[in-house]
């Protein structure tokens, strides 16, 4: 099987009993190094990225004000919208540009006196383009607004420097591109003078099972030994190979901006005569597992994919489209 759906991104799942147990503090140190965080004590754990996103939102938005307005980027997940509505927030959506990234030029126009925060998906699972966190945070600082960023699709996929970004809270899970097990969520917060967030988060911290932390530590060591940059370059090369072949096929449209390196290794396509689900089913019947997002078929490349697998996937897409052109093969 060839997995191109973000589901197989685990580090070979070694048995925890074969690994030396590690402390939560040790894992904090590993994360601080990978994400460029000065103080590892500003890293907190939970059971999922969704849980940590909820904690961040509650901390920044509670106690609820009479008027609570929040700006959300277009790529944010449904669970975030649900929670914001539960908190009574009025939501304005910052639309994407034609390239698929948040339109920073429109951000300031959405800010109102009752705006409490900007909630920004660092990267979307649809077309793979990412938000310019530094630019969004720079605009937010002018209005003294916190930025809460959802890094569930970017953590481990691209280099993230939280110290330089200016983001106030960054949430992600231990799985997907970080190659760890399910059941781990991480929240990184910017240090505040009154230390109020740290006290509250420490009281609420829900440490994952020791076995999961041990496996997560092994995955982080694997990433640290290679560097996120090296892994990103490899996965981007694979995605680019597929993109170049797919975009040259008659009847196939590739969505998103591929002119920038600051993007996820995702290629989203539509194909004439086929729905996204039909493309997914065709690929699955030939041993290739992909995802779908909205009306698009999504091919997500990871560290354990190979150039041979890219070639096989391109050939499969050509067969589906009835194309016989060896020059399109990467």
Mean pLDDT of the chain: 87
pLDDT higher than 50, residue 216:
yes
Return the pLDDT at 77: 74
One domain, residues 94 and 180: yes
Alpha-carbon gap, residue 176 to 108, rounded angstroms: 33
- Tens-place pLDDT, residues 101-139: 777 788 888 999 999 999 998 987 778 888 888 999 999
pLDDT higher than 60, residue 297:
yes
One domain, residues 222 and 238: no
Mean pLDDT on 57-73: 80
| Domain final residue, candidates 162, 197, 226 | 226
One domain, residues 267 and 320: yes
Among 58-72, 100-114, 236-250, 285-299, where is mean pLDDT lowest? Answer: 58-72
One domain, residues 138 and 261: no
Structure tokens at 65: 């004000």
Burial of 6 (0-12, 13-18, 19+ CB in 10 A): buried
Q: Which of 27-36, 77-86, 132-141 has the highest mean pLDDT?
A: 27-36
Q: Which residue has the tokens 């797919």?
A: 246
Mean pLDDT on 269-283: 97
One domain, residues 233 and 139: no
Alpha-carbon gap, residue 30 to 11, rounded angstroms: 16
Structural domains counted in the chain: 2
Residue 173 sits at the vertex; the CA angle it makes with 168 and 179, to the nearest 5 degrees, is: 130
Return the pLDDT at 8: 46
One domain, residues 217 and 300: no
Q: Which pLDDT band, with edges at 50, 70 and 90, does 209 fall under?
A: confident
pTM of the model: 0.89
Alpha-carbon gap, residue 250 to 190, rounded angstroms: 48
What is the DSSP code (8-state) at residue 208? P
Q: Which pLDDT band, with edges at 50, 70 and 90, does 262 fall under?
A: confident
**Domain at 192, CATH number:** 3.40.640.10
One domain, residues 147 and 28: yes
How many residues make up the chain in this entry?
Answer: 330
Mean pLDDT on 188-199: 69
Q: Which residue has the tokens 């991104």?
A: 9
Return the pLDDT at 3: 82
User: Which structural domain, as residue segments, surrounds residue 307?
Assistant: 228-328
| Domain final residue, candidates 195, 226, 257 | 226
Determine, yes or no, domain membership for 87: yes
Structure tokens at 82: 């649900």
């Amino acid at each position: 099987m060839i997995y191109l759906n973000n589901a197989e991104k685990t580090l070979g799942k070694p048995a925890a009993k074969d690994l030396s147990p590690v402390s939560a503090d040790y894992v904090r140190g590993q994360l601080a190094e990978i994400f460029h965080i000065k103080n590892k004590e500003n890293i907190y754990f939970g059971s999922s990225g969704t849980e940590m996103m909820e904690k961040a939102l509650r901390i920044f938005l509670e106690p609820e004000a009479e008027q609570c307005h929040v700006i959300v980027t277009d790529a944010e997940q449904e669970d975030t919208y649900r929670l914001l509505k539960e908190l009574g927030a009025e939501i304005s959506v910052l639309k994407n540009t034609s390239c698929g990234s948040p339109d920073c030029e429109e951000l300031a126009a959405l800010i109102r006196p009752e705006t409490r925060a900007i909630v920004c998906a660092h990267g979307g699972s649809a077309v793979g383009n990412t938000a310019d966190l530094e630019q969004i945070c720079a605009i937010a600082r002018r209005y003294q607004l916190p930025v809460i960023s959802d890094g569930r699709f970017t953590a481990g996929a691209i280099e993230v420097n939280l110290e330089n970004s200016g983001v106030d809270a960054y949430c992600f899970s231990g799985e997907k591109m970080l190659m760890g097990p399910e059941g781990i969520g991480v929240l990184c917060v910017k240090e505040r003078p009154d230390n109020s967030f740290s006290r509250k988060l420490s009281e609420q911290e829900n440490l994952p099972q020791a076995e999961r932390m041990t496996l997560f530590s092994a995955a982080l060591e694997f990433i640290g030994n290679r560097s996120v940059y090296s892994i990103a370059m490899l996965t981007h090369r694979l995605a680019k190979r597929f993109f170049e072949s797919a975009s040259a096929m008659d009847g196939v449209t590739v969505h998103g901006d591929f002119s920038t390196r600051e993007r996820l290794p995702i290629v989203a396509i539509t194909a004439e005569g086929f729905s996204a689900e039909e493309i997914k089913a065709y690929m699955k019947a030939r041993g290739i597992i992909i995802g779908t997002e909205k009306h698009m078929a999504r091919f997500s490349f990871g560290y354990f994919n190979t150039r041979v697998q890219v070639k096989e996937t391109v050939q499969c897409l050509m067969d589906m489209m009835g194309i016989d052109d060896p020059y399109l093969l990467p």
